[in-house]
């Protein structure tokens, strides 16, 4: 089975959410004139600027509920294209004062696909679980002011098997990749809004390593170009699509946006990975229990 992917490397956004949505839809319309994707992915917080740099209550006004106008526009897109659409957005939660960095997974019929957590619970959308607060470079970021943590790592069922999502910072947590791979995920979608030289230097190697170690496809869309909020922020772009065997199937330019990537994923490579690399056969879970046991680690 093969799946066609369309990746949108978002460019700098404006303060006008509706305008950002329309520009993204125009990019997809142009890219699909002669191409019929099975999956469409956008960059992190694709309908807003990346506003996490200082504490301003004004930015909370950008958040929309799951049934808000932006999600509805991309539900229409999914039906129009007959594609799965992964739409990253700033979510206003059902409970007052709760906001999330989220991705709606939309089926070919335009309906939201629920995600399954390892403990059996379901979620309506994926919500970022690892929330950074980072000031080692400038401009820094303060996502913990704007986002509540999600409830867990989810897989979403499609006709191509299970898919999963890790948002931006979450790509650096190998435990999250392995949990989702063990749940049967075949494709990891990684929407990102990243800048900074250290993160740019580690970007490609980090994704390739995760693909090989976990035996899944990686579809990673990072914003590209300069965006102005509290100051200029240059997102390094360089979006990537990588196979389970570590092959780079498509790559976008660094530092530029917007840009479109297309690739066909041969899902048979997942089985080939299990023969070439016997990581899952040779795992020793009993040796890793201290990862979740603070007493055994000597922390408590």
How far is it, in rounded angstroms, from Cα 149 to Cα 168? 14
Amino acid 22: pLDDT: 97
> Which residues, including other chains, have CB under 8 Å from residue 255's CB and lie 6 or more apart?
224, 225, 234, 235, 236, 237, 238
Residue 76, H or E segment:
helix 69-81
Average pLDDT across each block of 10 residues of the chain; the chain has 300 residues. List them in order: 97 96 97 98 98 93 97 98 98 97 98 97 98 87 96 98 98 97 98 93 97 98 94 94 97 94 97 93 92 72
How far is it, in rounded angstroms, from Cα 295 to Cα 155? 30
Amino acid 236: pLDDT: 96
How far is it, in rounded angstroms, from Cα 188 to Cα 233? 26
For β-strands 99-106 and 126-127, DSSP reports them as: antiparallel
The catalytic residue positions are: 44, 128, 168
How far is it, in rounded angstroms, from Cα 131 to Cα 125? 17
How far is it, in rounded angstroms, from Cα 130 to Cα 95? 20
Q: How many CA atoms lie within 13 A of 284 on its CB side?
A: 3
Amino acid 250: pLDDT: 98
Closest C-alpha among 49, 59, 39, 44 to residue 9: 44
Is residue 174 within 8 Å of residue 165, measured between CB atoms? no
16: its two tokens: 């006008």
Amino acid 138: pLDDT: 80
How far is it, in rounded angstroms, from Cα 91 to Cα 104? 10
Cis bond before residue 271 (omega within 30° of 0):
no
Residue 65, H or E segment:
none
Is residue 265 within 8 Å of residue 2, measured between CB atoms? yes
Strand, coil or helix: 102: strand
For β-strands 126-127 and 122-123, DSSP reports them as: unpaired
């Amino acid at each position: 089975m093969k799946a066609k992917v369309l990746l949108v490397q978002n460019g700098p956004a404006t303060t006008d959410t509706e305008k950002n949505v329309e520009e993204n839809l125009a990019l997809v319309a142009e890219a699909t004139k002669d191409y019929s994707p099975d999956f469409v992915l956008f960059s992190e917080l694709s309908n807003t600027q990346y506003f996490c740099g200082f504490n301003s209550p004004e930015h909370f006004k950008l958040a929309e509920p799951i049934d808000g106008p932006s999600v509805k526009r991309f539900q229409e897109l999914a039906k129009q294209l007959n594609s799965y659409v992964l739409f990253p957005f700033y979510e206003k939660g059902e409970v007052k004062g709760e906001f999330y960095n989220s991705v709606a997974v939309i089926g070919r019929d335009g309906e939201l696909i629920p995600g399954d957590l390892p403990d059996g619970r379901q979620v309506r959308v994926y919500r970022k679980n690892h929330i950074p607060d980072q000031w080692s470079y400038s401009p820094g970021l303060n996502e913990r002011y704007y986002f509540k943590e999600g409830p867990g790592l989810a897989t979403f069922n499609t006709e191509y098997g299970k898919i999963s999502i890790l948002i931006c910072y979450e790509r650096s947590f190998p435990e999250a990749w392995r949990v989702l791979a063990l749940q049967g995920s075949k494709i990891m979608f990684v929407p990102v809004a990243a800048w900074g030289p250290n993160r740019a230097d580690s970007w490609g190697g980090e994704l390739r390593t995760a693909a090989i170690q976990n035996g899944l496809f990686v579809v990673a869309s990072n914003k590209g170009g300069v965006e102005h909020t509290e100051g200029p922020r240059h997102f390094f772009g360089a979006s990537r699509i990588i196979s389970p065997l570590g092959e780079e199937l498509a790559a976008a330019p660094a530092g530029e946006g917007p840009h479109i990537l297309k690739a066909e994923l041969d899902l048979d490579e997942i089985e080939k990975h299990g023969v070439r690399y016997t990581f899952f056969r040779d795992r020793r879970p009993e040796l890793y229990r201290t990862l979740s046991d603070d007493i055994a680690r000597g922390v408590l």
